[in-house]
Amino acid sequence: MRVSEDIKNLIAYKPGKPIAETQREFGISRVIKLASNENPLGPSPKAIEALRAHLNDLHRYPDPGGFELSQKISKVWNINKNKIALGNGSNEIIDLLIRIFCEPGEKIATTEKAFLAYPICAQAARVKTVAVPLRADFTIDLIAMANMVLNDTNIRLVFIPNPNNPTGTYVNRTEVEQFLNKVGNRPDLLIVFDEAYNEFVRAQDYASGQEWLNQYPSVVVMRTFSKVYGLAGLRLGVMMADPEVIDLYHKVRNPFNTNELAQVAATAAIEDTEYLRASQKVVWEGLDQIYKGLRELDLNFLESQANFVLFDTQREAIQVYDLLLRQGLILRPVANYGLPRHLRWTVGLKEENLIILKALKEILIKVHPMK
């Protein structure tokens, strides 16, 4: 087939191992999947109720403008309606932003060990990715990022995952402020804050990019219903941006990019504060439980502002991963992020975390540490 080198060489995103596949391969029924940063509580009961009530309308096309959901988002997140657009997960928004704002051969900038959707979507659009190294403590170096952007006029978009996946680290208010001071006023550069884990942040000096939306028309903020809102299976992402960016986005997106059930469920979930609080609680308590367990196992980890923990197995992580998998326990290998000794562990229910900790303890004895 005649196809460009960029497409031929593309390495597809590798999602967490599905539960059903693990059951088939190992002939086991009990599988605990803590590999994709999903909400361990299941969907919001209010979302399920709303979905049931809408099943009889599935023969209709969805609302192309997502009117009701946008209305709710505007109210609950305190953002003007003309600054909101919806996507088929944030993944689609990433894809479209790159297609809209980059010509083939131009560049996006991000950091090393950032969400892999950015370079994959870029390459699919024949756009190059440049990445600054993380600091030694795995945090994003926004000073280096600003310098890179200032020295390269081909960069059209900057992606700042805050907090970052797979590290769980964040950039603070002052760092963001200084970054925007340097590069926030350019008409040829958009700065995208990917805030998929926003609701899990406990750090006091964290600030959402939303705070700068009015001051800098170049700031874009992405949120998702896949994590704290527990709707990963329905695919609903949100973009907040200057109306000019929103208008361009509406021109390019497919008219029915977000489906009716996703809109209905998200509209219900966003107002379910009881569920939101419960989701935060299970993650925060779970993080503390996992930290304690990992300390007892003498394993280093990064303190996380998200719903997962990146930890150093001090071994070839894939061996630890495989032995866990045989017991039906799915964590996430991150060798594709250049981290062959680490695993990413999504916070589960207390009992689930306990099962993983117990299994890890036994497995660590069997696998030799790396030098």
Ligand X SMILES: *Cc1c(COP(=O)(O)O)cnc(C)c1O
- Which stretches of the chain bind ligand X, using CB under 6 A? 37, 89-91, 115, 161, 165, 194, 196, 224, 226-227, 232, 237
Amino acid identity for residue 143 in this structure: I
Q: How far is the CB of 6 from ligand X (least distance, A)?
A: 22
Nearer to ligand X, 226 or 327 (CB): 226
**d(C-alpha 348, C-alpha 287), whole Å:** 9
Q: How far is the CB of 319 from ligand X (least distance, A)?
A: 25
Nearer to ligand X, 230 or 237 (CB): 237
Q: How far is the CB of 198 from ligand X (least distance, A)?
A: 10
In the bound complex, which residue of the shown chain has the CB atom lying closest to ligand X? 89
**d(C-alpha 93, C-alpha 104), whole Å:** 18
Q: How far is the CB of 102 from ligand X (least distance, A)?
A: 19
Inter-residue contact 192 to 85 (CB < 8 Å): no
Nearer to ligand X, 101 or 308 (CB): 308
Nearer to ligand X, 44 or 226 (CB): 226
**d(C-alpha 4, C-alpha 220), whole Å:** 30
Nearer to ligand X, 343 or 363 (CB): 343
Q: How far is the CB of 224 from ligand X (least distance, A)?
A: 3
Nearer to ligand X, 22 or 90 (CB): 90
Nearer to ligand X, 162 or 353 (CB): 162
The angle at the Cα of 44, spanning 41 to 49, to the nearest 5 degrees, equals 135
Buried b (16+ CB within 10 A) or exposed e, 75-108: eebebeeebbbbbbbbbbbbbbbbebbbeeebbb
Nearer to ligand X, 37 or 218 (CB): 37
Inter-residue contact 167 to 138 (CB < 8 Å): yes
**Three-state DSSP string of 52-102:** HHHHHHCCCCCCCCCHHHHHHHHHHCCCCHHHEEEECHHHHHHHHHHHHHC
What does the chain come to in residues? 371
Q: How far is the CB of 196 from ligand X (least distance, A)?
A: 4
Q: How far is the CB of 232 from ligand X (least distance, A)?
A: 6
Structure tokens at 90: 């944030």
Q: Collapsing DSSP states into helix, strand and coil, what is residue 111?
A: strand
Torsion angle of C-alpha atoms 288, 292, 297, 298, degrees rounded to 10: 100
Q: How far is the CB of 92 from ligand X (least distance, A)?
A: 7
Nearer to ligand X, 62 or 237 (CB): 237
**d(C-alpha 218, C-alpha 80), whole Å:** 16
Q: How far is the CB of 156 from ligand X (least distance, A)?
A: 19
Q: How far is the CB of 306 from ligand X (least distance, A)?
A: 8
**d(C-alpha 359, C-alpha 281), whole Å:** 24
Inter-residue contact 315 to 324 (CB < 8 Å): no
* 13: phi then psi, degrees, rounded to nearest 5: -60, 135
Nearer to ligand X, 161 or 230 (CB): 161
Cβ partners under 8 Å of residue 183, min gap 6: 146, 149, 150, 158, 189, 191
